Chain A
Amino acid sequence: MATQRNLLSRSLQAAKSRYRYHQSLRRISSAAAPELPPFGYEPKPYSGPLADQVLEKRKKYLGPSLFHYYQKPLNIVEGKMQYLFDESGKRYLDGFAGIVTVSCGHCHPDVLGAIVEQSKLLQHATTIYLHHAIADFAEELASKMPGNLKVVYFVNSGTEANELAMLMARLYSGNLGMLALRNAYHGGSASTIGLTALNTWKYPIPQGEIHHVVNPNPYRGVFGSDANQYAEDVKDHIDHGTSGQVAGFIAETIQGVGGAVELAPGYLKLVYDIVRKAGGVCIADEVQTGFGRTGSHYWGFETQGVTPDIVTMAKMSDEFDAITVSFLSLTTYIYQGIGNGLPLGAVVTTPAIASVMAQKIQFNTFGGNPVCSAGGLAVLKVLDKEQRQKHCADVGSHLIQRLRDLQQRHDYFLVDALDYSMSKL
């Protein structure tokens, strides 16, 4: 009898769930479709290859692992500030910003100006010669950093930045073991693939001595928002899985690829302490969270009240302040970026840590080239001039609130919304 009752109540619950789900869908589809805000700009007419042709060529020449969004892939041919245009001139509100990269806005005039001007003067010579662009940019970037973080290395991507950071950590500490969070993304090269901790991104090759600690995910984590328990796991890994001494710990303050997962409050403070006691350095991966994107602070790590030993950055060079709400993406981003889409990355660290690199030669041919540096500097200026961090905070809070309203109305969507521009201020 009890079993039958259980079965009956379970199937009733399932039926209710299905009903609520379909009701939600009906509400969404029957609601009046919202329109994009007006934008006084007409894209240039496009006369290049169409989507189908491009797709065919991609399949033929660009490797089977290249994937795209949407059942009918979008052929994006022009961008202006927070909008993108497809081959037919249709305007889209860009809520993803080239994967958290375009910070100032697509083809922002100031940034464009800097890039074009520099390209006409000198595009590439490498750091074996002097040039003011790299030094100016490094100075400006270092001025945004707290503490003793003032030595800048320029690379060409986030992956390269994290590779370099890991190398520095191992050389400086004399230890080998690295600690990274489960669900993190730090790159796709042979070494950074070890730090990355999402199985879809990890090829089956040896990945070195990396210890993946329990993710302090307040929504899905086994310890909820209890930073202490998560920090205990880090200590457990160090005590048992390593020699007791580690090279370092790396984390994104908000996991990007992992689904905009914030770290439980207070987590980084506890863990930084544990890692430093074990001889390790603390690396903050600001590839997605830096440059004011979180709204409340310029750097993501500042929201956790810590100062890392090494900071890596990339992606962001262009600001892009508008946010789209997509029912298919369960989180929203307000994106910033070091070069607004220019292939640029950087590692900022202390003089003491940087000194270990002098024992051998480390050279990056394209790193810090005049054009990218000029673009990067222009971005920093735009961020300051147009007060983009504050803007992120304002618009971000507004968006978060609207998402939370949506969460109230629809059971099946937005079960967790980032609260980053609001209560942390």
Chain B
Amino acid sequence: MQRFATRRGICGTGVQRWRRCLSQLAQKTEENEVYVPKIPSFDYSPPAYKGPTAEEILRKRKDCLSPSMFTFYKKPLNVVHGKMQYLFDENGRRYLDAFGGIATVCCGHCHPDVVKAIVDQTNQLQHSTILYLNHAITDFADALASKLPGDLKVVFFTNSGTEANELAMMMARLYTGCHDIISLRNAYHGNAAGTMGATAQSNWKFNVVQSGVHHAVNPDPYRGIFGSDGEKYAKDIEDLIQFGTSGHVAGFISEAIQGVGGIVELAAGYLPAAYSSVKKAGGLCISDEVQAGFGRTGSHFWGFESHGVVPDIVTMAKGIGNGIPLGAVVTTPKIAEVLTRRSYFNTFGGNPVCTAAGLAVLKVIKREKLQENAHVVGSYLKDRLCALKDKHEIIGDVRGSGMMLGVELVTDRHLKTPAKTEILHVMDQMKDMGVLIGKGGFFGNVFRITPPLCFTKDDA
């Protein structure tokens, strides 16, 4: 994929100005190569599309849907069908999906096992709420809890990551009797009132009351002030607790690898030190596994495992149901008890169809060894990206783990000036070549590569 990003990018028609951004070496390679890369072959033909065109849909969106909705690409893509790691547009053109519906589709678009589970359950019982018993929710809860270490075995089902994080924050506040929560700058945890407070990037934060959240210095090895010194960053947590709070906090929430923030890995040694400070102050540690969970990082099932910590509450969504609207909060029985103080109910949470899909996803991940695949293919892809970095000045950093990778583009490697316009150009180029990729980071200059976990080496 990345190979033709450079060669095709240069060889492709009308991309003369792109040459200026690349090194001499790349140009030399370009002159010698006649290879025109294509996405790997795929033995599948999409059904013919007869629905509205991209223009019609865009017009309707502008009329009827929120003005704040945005799209990728100069010419927005009308995606109508998906199969495993590929997506098809209205013309039946195939694209390699390296973004996975924003790190959500883990088994692959319309994976047969998952589709079957959804269809079967839909034919049986689609919704009744937990006022009644049903095996789907308990089967899935059981399977999910078995994937978590320690005493993490009580599962709450929600409908999104935001809902999951909202619930986690509320439980932490109730359990400790404290109000203050610490999150990391550059984090993304959701867009409701509480989670918007925890989210820490200005463009996602509206001007509404966001009380009680303290944002610690981000342990960002690439842009952070203390480089990769995890323990130094963790001292900021101590400082915040001692000065900014009553000395006791409700909790600390973080992603193991920041997704929206641009695939930022936390500096080594940070989480254990941070968790220790927070626990000393009576707080709970919440691990936001919405993007990093379910084997995406390759080395471990959960992102927090690679840091050698065990949180008190784990939140998940996105990959949990291969795209179905589902979220979950898993915690210990003791912490879970706080919700018995009042009534807490989630109408759609844990509905039979979504939980059946969730269970099917877990089975697919296990049977098809998707975590191992993420590790092997992800490492391979990362190596190739690093090789690309050696060749091209514009690539400032390659980071991430498994199939959660980031490529940060900068116009100056020393100053780390974000390459905000260049990245849009490359993204569009890649789309034209048939590869869909994501974008993120505080400056919007980081490629986010989070494909379905069935991605192959050929795809890479």
Given contacts A232-B225, A243-B202, A244-B203, contact A202 B246 (CB under 8 A): yes
Contact A240 B200 (CB under 8 A): yes
Return the chain A residue nearest B250 by Cβ. A204
Tell me which residues across on chain B come within 8 A of A215, comparing CB atoms: 243
Q: Mark B226-260, 1 if CB is under 8 A from A, else 0.
A: 00000000011001111111111000000000000
Tell me which residues across on chain A come within 8 A of B205, comparing CB atoms: 241-244
Contact A204 B215 (CB under 8 A): no
Task: Verify if A47 is at the interface (C-beta below 8 Å from B).
Answer: no
Contact A176 B214 (CB under 8 A): no
Given contacts A182-B239, A206-B179, A211-B215, contact A242 B202 (CB under 8 A): yes
User: For the complex, would chain A's binding face be called helix, strand, loop or mixed by DSSP majority?
Assistant: loop
Question: A226-277: which residues lie under 8 A (CB-CB) from chain B?
Answer: 229, 232-233, 236-245
Task: Verify if B444 is at the interface (C-beta below 8 Å from A).
Answer: no
A249 CB → nearest B CB, Å: 15
Tell me which residues across on chain A come within 8 A of B210, comparing CB atoms: 176-177, 209
Task: Verify if A357 is at the interface (C-beta below 8 Å from B).
Answer: no
Cα-based distance from A238 to B205 in the complex (angstroms) = 11
Given contacts A176-B207, A240-B202, A243-B206, contact A207 B212 (CB under 8 A): yes
Question: B173-205: which residues lie under 8 A (CB-CB) from chain A?
Answer: 177-180, 185-186, 197, 200-203, 205
Contact B241 A199 (CB under 8 A): yes
Question: B381-396: which residues lie under 8 A (CB-CB) from chain A?
Answer: none
Tell me which residues across on chain B come within 8 A of A175, comparing CB atoms: 207
Tell me which residues across on chain B come within 8 A of A214, comparing CB atoms: 236, 239
Task: Verify if A297 is at the interface (C-beta below 8 Å from B).
Answer: no
B273 CB → nearest A CB, Å: 15
Cα-based distance from A210 to B202 in the complex (angstroms) = 15
Return the chain A residue nearest B249 by Cβ. A204
Cα-based distance from A3 to B243 in the complex (angstroms) = 37
Tell me which residues across on chain B come within 8 A of A233, comparing CB atoms: 217
Task: Verify if B165 is at the interface (C-beta below 8 Å from A).
Answer: no
Task: Verify if A183 is at the interface (C-beta below 8 Å from B).
Answer: yes
Given contacts A214-B239, A239-B442, A240-B200, contact A205 B209 (CB under 8 A): no
Cα-based distance from A200 to B225 in the complex (angstroms) = 29
Cα-based distance from A251 to B396 in the complex (angstroms) = 38
B349 CB → nearest A CB, Å: 27
Contact A236 B185 (CB under 8 A): yes
Task: Verify if A25 is at the interface (C-beta below 8 Å from B).
Answer: no
Given contacts A199-B241, A232-B225, A238-B202, contact A243 B185 (CB under 8 A): no
Task: Verify if B65 is at the interface (C-beta below 8 Å from A).
Answer: no
Task: Verify if A197 is at the interface (C-beta below 8 Å from B).
Answer: yes
Given contacts A243-B202, A244-B203, contact A208 B246 (CB under 8 A): no
Cα-based distance from A244 to B200 in the complex (angstroms) = 10
Q: How many residues of A contact B (CB 8 A)?
A: 37
Contact B186 A240 (CB under 8 A): yes
Contact A176 B212 (CB under 8 A): no
Return the chain B residue nearest A240 by Cβ. B185
Tell me which residues across on chain A come within 8 A of B214, comparing CB atoms: 211-212
Contact A204 B243 (CB under 8 A): no
Return the chain A residue nearest B212 by Cβ. A206
Tell me which residues across on chain A come within 8 A of B241, comparing CB atoms: 199
Return the chain B residue nearest A278 by Cβ. B202
Task: Verify if A203 is at the interface (C-beta below 8 Å from B).
Answer: yes
Cα-based distance from A47 to B111 in the complex (angstroms) = 92
Task: Verify if A174 is at the interface (C-beta below 8 Å from B).
Answer: yes
Tell me which residues across on chain A come within 8 A of B206, comparing CB atoms: 243
Return the chain B residue nearest A177 by Cβ. B210
Contact A204 B248 (CB under 8 A): yes
Tell me which residues across on chain B come within 8 A of A205, comparing CB atoms: 179
Interface centre among A176, A177, A209, A210 (most CB of B within 10 A): A209
Return the chain A residue nearest B184 by Cβ. A240
Contact A202 B247 (CB under 8 A): yes
Given contacts A204-B246, A212-B243, A229-B225, contact A244 B209 (CB under 8 A): no
Contact B246 A203 (CB under 8 A): yes
Task: Verify if B53 is at the interface (C-beta below 8 Å from A).
Answer: no
Contact A240 B243 (CB under 8 A): no
Contact A245 B207 (CB under 8 A): yes
Tell me which residues across on chain A come within 8 A of B179, comparing CB atoms: 204-207
Given contacts A204-B178, A236-B217, contact A199 B211 (CB under 8 A): no
Task: Verify if B218 is at the interface (C-beta below 8 Å from A).
Answer: yes
Return the chain A residue nearest B179 by Cβ. A206
Given contacts A208-B211, A232-B225, A239-B442, 13 further A-B contacts (CB under 8 A): A176-B210, A197-B244, A198-B243, A199-B243, A204-B180, A211-B215, A214-B236, A214-B239, A237-B215, A240-B202, A241-B185, A243-B205, A244-B205
**Chain A contacts to B: CB under 8 angstroms:** 174-177, 182-183, 197-200, 202-212, 214-215, 222, 229, 232-233, 236-245
Can you list 19 A-B contacts with CB-CB less than 8 angstroms, sorted by A residue number? A175-B207, A183-B243, A199-B241, A202-B245, A204-B180, A204-B246, A208-B209, A209-B213, A212-B240, A214-B239, A229-B225, A232-B225, A238-B202, A239-B185, A239-B202, A240-B186, A240-B200, A242-B205, A245-B207
**Chain B contacts to A: CB under 8 angstroms:** 177-180, 185-186, 197, 200-203, 205-215, 217-218, 225, 235-236, 239-248, 442
Question: Which 7 A-B pairs rank lowest in CB-CB distance, beginning with the nearest?
Answer: A182-B243, A244-B202, A240-B185, A199-B247, A212-B244, A241-B215, A202-B246
